[in-house]
Structure 1
Amino acid sequence: MRTVTIVGASLSGLYTARELRAQGYDGRLVIVGDEPHHPYDRPPLSKDFLTGRADEARLALTDAEETAELDAEWLLGVRVRALDARARTVLLDDGRTVSTDGLVIATGASARRLPGDSLAGVHTLRTLDDALALREELARGPRRVVVIGGGFIGAETASSCSSLGHAVTVVEAAPLPLVPQLGADMAAVCAALHRRGGVDLVTGTGVAGLRGTATVTGVDLTDGRTLPADTVIVGIGAVPNTAWLVGSPLAVRDGVLCDDGCVTALPQVVAVGDVASVGGHRAEHWTSATLQPRIAVTNLLAGRTVETADALPYFWSDQYGARIQFAGRCRDDDTVRITEGGLSDGAPAEGGFLARYERDGRTTAVLAVDRPRPFMRARRELARDAGEKRMPSVTP
């Protein structure tokens, strides 16, 4: 390959660029990003960056030395409009085209939006510019904040807003937040963190609409109530950025469909990160974005799938001063057993706890709150029992 193009100047895009050079690719490397920024770390946006404990420099994932070593052409602040697979060309919104032999799709996902969220005071939190705008607004003084969505982004943002002294309410349409990720029992425990952090949690009701003319003044709920609001943060999930692939030969269904090696229907095209549906699963986690590129690059340079991996799912979240860590795959019928630490009034006790999810006499997942070392041991045991190897499997 003489030219490889990475569409998406993201975490996964940067890791892919590193892997290409590490695996010996010395040809032309083009990195296209719709944001004007070089790759930055997103997890702190809802935490340290929002509260002012970290600045933009702390978010940066590259420096001048690494940028020079990568020897890439950075096309930032420009969107990709389409892929012409037959001509092996990427079309940009500004009229330019990039001819390429290999393509890495790392376009990530965009925050899902609500009708009427163009009102002033309504925010999403997905990008650096999102975080800058929200941080500026929160700095104006005490505000009534309503967070719509009790997932990880919503919970982390609510925690940060509360720590800044704002009055915060979280609205979650489900009976409990995080049930799909943690199961009902442990979701209830983590939901208690909101109460301990002084945040109101409203569950089992959706949002009917937003109030206000130019600026948001409240949130109407489907149960008839209205929550007054000066600031509304919408955290209801994300949509993979695949619109530019419409009309291409690539299959798109909740992400770009890939095999277990991140390879699409076209062997010269791979996908990584939030936009990639690898083996039928799309994971919006930091670990996926950093682990997938090595396998994707190996297969891209080989021209076919020679390596696959089935990494054990893992994610973490920081909320209300607590570190939540989860690894494995849980189901509704799993038995959950706390094996270390305990609970206090339905919330994690001081020192946290470690819980094991069990099915047919074996552990399928582990959850820890403020127990990092026991969690790491349990995670290693889980990976070993699941037959996961340190190195991904190689296809003969």
Structure 2
Amino acid sequence: MDPIRNPYAPGAGQRPPELAGRDRELDQFDVVLERIARGRPERSLVLTGLRGVSMTVLLNALRSQAIGRLWGTGKIEARPDQTLRRPVAAALHMAVRELAPRHRDPERIDYVLSVIKAFALRDSATGSGPGSKTVPRWQPGIDVPAARGRADSGDIEIDLTELFTDAASIGTDLGVGIALFVDEMQDVPTPDLSALCAACHELSQTGAPLIIVGAGLPHLPTLLSSSKSYSERLFRYHRIDRLDRPDADLALTAPAQREGVDFSPDALDALYDAADGYPYFIQAYGKVAWDAAPTTPITAEDVKVAAPEAEAELAVGFFGSRYERATPAEREYMRAMALLGDGPVPTAEVATSLGRRPSSLSPARDSLIKKGLVYAAERGSVAFTVPHFGHFLRSQPV
């Protein structure tokens, strides 16, 4: 069939033509937005799941909902080697700019922008306290002087709380809120993650209309709990999983039907077996099946012909790119995990299979966790962050 009309979109963070199976999260977020706008207490949100379940897509959809309600929004992608100061400042700058045209007091807007600038310019490495030196190594593009004595102490917890409080006041003035979306939240450095929790805790007590919407790997709740014990009550957690069969079918059939194309029942069976309900895989297999089919309906034979192409693309772009980031020692560790099964495996069994002491493998395991390739599923066990990664590793030559 015509590849130009192919509706499927297997891209990183790219919204699929049919966002199936996420209605519950979208509906609940609508309630959160409305409650906060009415001054009702609500918790910030955290989405967790494996790679390939389209968490970034969902995060962007939630942001679109906030924008639709005229909220100020900003988004960051956390990195383990970067503090929150610059990305948070840039995101809140964007959020305040979205609200500024509707605000009646330009001086209030300028004041909040000056606080954002002070927060961004404060180099915590120079010390702490009001008298510490500020090193303006980077200019955030805010055309007002930096505030003095506000969000510039050098203590990230104090500064983040003051910054959020002042930014939220703009939302209060307009009867809306500010939402900060944090992708790859598990990569926020530990001191900054603790500060983020503390700032959210303070805002929840005062009812300030600013919320965090984070997305990260399955061990993110454990990291949050380790940083602040009250984080278990501070956030509303949503585990984002693969789609069930009806929603997986809908993700394929709805966009096809809009193009006048159908799937035979056996084709849908074959596609569900191949993709296992993971949204990214659904898009990948749907795209090649469309291109392979000569006409509608798309059949199981079309899927069979097309599947090797999807598998080859996944092996390079989805699995291979991650595998290449690992060192030889880390690859050895992952191969041992794969041979033990596809679910969480005890670290002691990994060590036994390699004939090594568990302590000697800790550097490889910890590095894999930092790289986002595995996560601590529970005490004493590890699992892959990427679905079907074990199968991929078992198929590779040693």
Q: Give the TM-score taking structure 1 as reference length.
A: 0.27
Higher relative contact order (CA 8 A, sep 6+): 2
Higher strand fraction (1 or 2): 1
CA radius of gyration, larger in:
2
Structure with the largest fraction of helix = 2
Question: TM-score by structure 2 length?
Answer: 0.27
